[in-house]
Amino acid sequence: MVLIGAGDHDYLPGIRKEILPWSEETEAAGVNSFDVGIMPLTEGPFEEGKCGYKLIQYMACSLPVVASPVGVNKQIVESNVTGFLASNNDEWINRLIELRNDPEKRNKLGGAGRAKLEKYYSLDITAPRLYELLLSVVDRWGKREH
């Protein structure tokens, strides 16, 4: 297991892992080397407010994902379409084993994740939405010059 930017915490005791430092220069190559992207979270106010950027990065690399059903993760991950939501240790283990044992399923879920990313989260989609949002704010305050 490879963890990027995880620090010195003992995540998943007993499981062999490699912890790589995070850097902008190596992040994309690191993520592209994964078979599955994971985003485990506990439930709490901080976690509820986290964005799903990590999941979107995984999906951009056509990776299937396994994530905790917390916050925006529930909107990003379509269970058994782009990956899985896992609520407890048994679900996490079962989903990861399933993906380890089924490369065809990994490819199918990863491809569906990439398609969802392109449809909802790509720059081509989000930039015009942001532009329109900003214009609406300006219009609302009555300061837009036509």
CATH of 34-120, one of 1.10.1660.10, 3.20.20.80, 3.40.50.2000, 3.30.360.10: 3.40.50.2000
**pLDDT value of residue 8:** 66
Query: pLDDT band at 12, cuts 50/70/90?
Result: low
Q: Residue 70 pLDDT > 90, yes or no?
A: yes
CA distance 39 to 67: 5
In this structure, the number of other CB atoms found within 10 A of the CB of residue 71 comes to 20
Output 46 or 115, whichever has higher pLDDT.
115
Q: What is the mean pLDDT of the chain?
A: 88
Spans of all domains in the chain = 1-33, 34-120
Residue 7 to residues 73, 97, 116, 130, 133, Cα–Cα distance (Å): 23, 25, 31, 34, 37
Q: Residue 96 pLDDT > 90, yes or no?
A: yes
CA distance 133 to 130: 5
**pLDDT value of residue 64:** 97
β-pairing, 37-39 vs 65-67, is: parallel
